[in-house]
Every structure is written in C-alpha cells, then in structure tokens.
Amino acid sequence: MIQWVIEAARAAGITDQVIVATPDPEIAEACRRFDTEAILTSADHPSGTDRIAEVALLRPADIFVNVQGDEPLIRSETIRACAGPLMADRTVEMGSVYSECTEREVDSPDVVKVVTDVDGFALYFSRCPIPYPRHGRTGAVKKHVGIYACTGQVLARFREWRMGELEQAESLEQLRFLENGVRIKMSHGAGTEVAVDTPEQAQEVRRLLAARS
C-alpha cells in the first residue's frame, strides 16, 4: 500500500526526493526493500503534519507535500494540483485540494468539508455539512482531499503553535493553520474512492487498482 502511494508521488514529477516519515520500523524496512528512503519519527505526534514538521528539521526544503500513506488511490494529478499554487506564487504559504461530495458523503463526519472565499482560499473545514442549506443547496458541497503542501517556513512556525480549540473540536490539523492566520489555497482535484483503515478496505483498493490497470 505504501509503495502505491510512493509511485503516485514520484509520477507527479514535481520532485526527485520522496521520503516516507513513519514511527514504525516495519514500514521503514518495507520502504528500504523497494529502494525508498524512510525516516523514523516520534510515535507521539498527534497528526501527519506534526510528523512532517519533524522531518523538516532534518531535511530543510522550500516546499513540503504531505501525502498520507493510507491513500493508495491518490492520483498524481491531485498531488500536482496541491503543490501547484506554491510553485507558481511564492506568496502562497500552503495549499490543499477539494473535490465534490456525493450525496452519501455530505452528512458523514468521516468526510471533511471545506468552504472557500472568492479567491479560492479556505475559510473553514468541518466534519459537518457546510455551508448549511437553510434555503436549499445552491451548489456542490466541497469535500476536502487530505493532502497538503506548505513552505518550510510555515512548518517551522507550526512546530511552535499549540493545538487550538477548533482543531481539538473537529480533530482536523489544518485548522491549526487557519487559527494562526495562514491562508490555505484550495485547488480542484480528484478525490479517492476509499482510504484504507481496515483489511476489507485494502481488498477493495486491490480490486479498484486492478480495474484501473
């Protein structure tokens, strides 16, 4: 599963340096078997971004793209969409991706939603349906695709911030950035059919990848 994610990251063509950050020696050993560098990080991080921030101390860079290891169906074009705004405009400090929610996903707390301003920057992320359709829906509900690009400078500041009330309430790490004034540029991209949290979902991913091939 990790190898599928790595292959998508490499195929995105935006960097020749793909590193797996993990607290798990078993994952690190698996990465070495298919010639991928892995860095062992603390097991105490509350989020993936905290883990990437630790790696940034060891491997300074201008831009970091955080692709979650439980998303083996992530598409290379989605990774490019996430990083694109930062590569095109040095004033953009952070980027992420959205797609459209299906009717089944709108009310699911497992699917994160996002609302944006007129310039495409995130106003808020929530597990609740947003915006609330008091007079009926006037457009698609935007589903957040959990991939992030951010500058090394923002990651350095992130390490100093305490978890705020919004992040604690929603259990969404991106809210720590919003709470501290960082604007997140949202780009449209392809969502994934399923993330892997169970053996059954892993089987479903194998079936979907075979169909793609």
| Euclidean distance between CA atoms 158 and 153, whole angstroms | 9
Give pLDDT tens digits for 127-158.
999 999 988 888 889 999 989 999 999 999 99
| Euclidean distance between CA atoms 19 and 179, whole angstroms | 28
When pLDDT is averaged across residues 22-39 and rounded to a whole number, the result is 94
* 120: its two tokens: 């495409």
Compute the half-sphere exposure of residue 115: CA atoms within 13 Å on the CB side of its CA: 11
Give pLDDT tens digits for 169-183.
999 999 999 999 999
Residue 204: what pLDDT? 86
Give pLDDT tens digits for 195-204.
777 788 888 8
The torsion region of residue 35 among left (phi > 0), alpha (psi -120 to 50) and beta comes to: left
The torsion region of residue 13 among left (phi > 0), alpha (psi -120 to 50) and beta comes to: left
Give pLDDT tens digits for 43-95.
999 889 999 999 999 999 999 999 988 888 889 999 999 999 999 999 999 99
Rounded alpha-carbon distances, angstroms, from residue 120 to 98, 116, 185, 201: 11, 5, 6, 32
Rounded alpha-carbon distances, angstroms, from residue 171 to 4, 149, 168: 27, 19, 5
DSSP string over 97-165: EEEEPPHHHHT-TTS-EEEE-TTSBEEEEESS-SS--TT---SPPEEEEEEEEEEHHHHHHHTTPPP-H
The total of structural domains in the chain comes to: 1
* Residue 103 CB neighbours (<10 A): 7
When pLDDT is averaged across residues 15-29 and rounded to a whole number, the result is 94
Residue 127 domain boundaries? 2-212
Write the CATH number for 73.
Answer: 3.90.550.10
Nearest to 20 by CA among 81, 72, 66: 66
* 156: its two tokens: 């350095």
| Euclidean distance between CA atoms 110 and 116, whole angstroms | 20
Which amino acid is present at 29? E
